[in-house]
Amino acid sequence: MADFTAADLPASDGRTALVTGANSGVGLATARALARAGAHVVLAVRNLDRGKAAAQTITGDTEVRELDLADLSSVRAFADAWSGPIDLLVNNAGISVPELRHTVDGFELQFGTNHLGPFALTNLLLGHVTGRIVTVSSQAERMGRLDLDDLGYDRRPYRESQAYGRSKLANLLFTAELQRRLDAVGSSVRALAAHPGLVRSEIYAQSSALTRLIVRAFGQSPEQGALPVLYAAVADLPGDSFTGPSRLAHMRGAPELINRSAVARDEKLAERLWSTSEQLTGVRFPLT
């Protein structure tokens, strides 16, 4: 839909949207647009002070709650404290770090934060979700190689871009397997993924000087980057759709449906990833 803008969002009065990592970048732009449309928007953030400061820049009904996706105890506490329906869950929060680091639970930081945290959060909240789950992925998934026997980089050297691509590939495999499971139990909830394109955001703050230069020169605004996320949230699309910008190799422009790699369409790999994620997080698909 080449002409889709945030102004095309339907009135969302009485609806609740939960956006992770909503204190800056695409997450904040997404939260602003949803609140402007009338939704009650919950900003799930690691730093409460930054989240509250971000909420003050939003016109509309907002709430700030603490959530650290790199700490499964924080994810469980957040889910345990939740009550009421969730019309839209946006798994937006993500990181990219240049050196090998680990989550509180000992997982490689990018995989733990970008995949395992959202995996656990989604499944723990799934009984509350009534509408859609949109997980922010990336075309960087095409650079990802998912070795489920070496998730901690014990046998191969750590490279930031490859680790990021792996986590974004996991996002797409997770979305596909989640939709298959939802379909199997007759749920009306839809799981979709979105690629925001090349966006000027804080995720590149620790990247190389060359990467930061490319982002400054060619990156689009967070408001533009939020459009594929918003499109996935409200457009008439089937489950397991993947949205992204329409121009410059899907790096800029209005949103549309885009393709994914053959690996991201591998159902057996998605099943294996799901099983591994359940084992690592101790969280299982709750619907029967």
Catalytic residues: 164
| Token representation of residue 123 | 């499944």
- Taking the CB of residue 116, how many other CB atoms lie within 10 A of it? 27
Q: Quote the DSSP letter at residue 166.
A: H
| Token representation of residue 150 | 């070496």
Q: d(Cα 101, Cα 170) in Å, to the nearest integer? A: 18
E strand segments, the chain: 16-20, 40-45, 61-66, 86-91, 129-136, 190-194, 242-247, 252-257
Sort 210 into a burial class: Cβ within 10 Å, 0-12 / 13-18 / 19+: exposed
The β-bridge partners of 63 are 42
How far CA 132 is from CA of 1, 7, 187, in Å, comes to 19, 20, 11
DSSP SS3 for 14 = coil
Q: d(Cα 164, Cα 284) in Å, to the nearest integer? A: 24
Phi, psi of 262 (to 5 degrees): -65, -35
Instruction: Tell me if 38 sits within 8 A of 60, measured CB to CB.
Output: yes
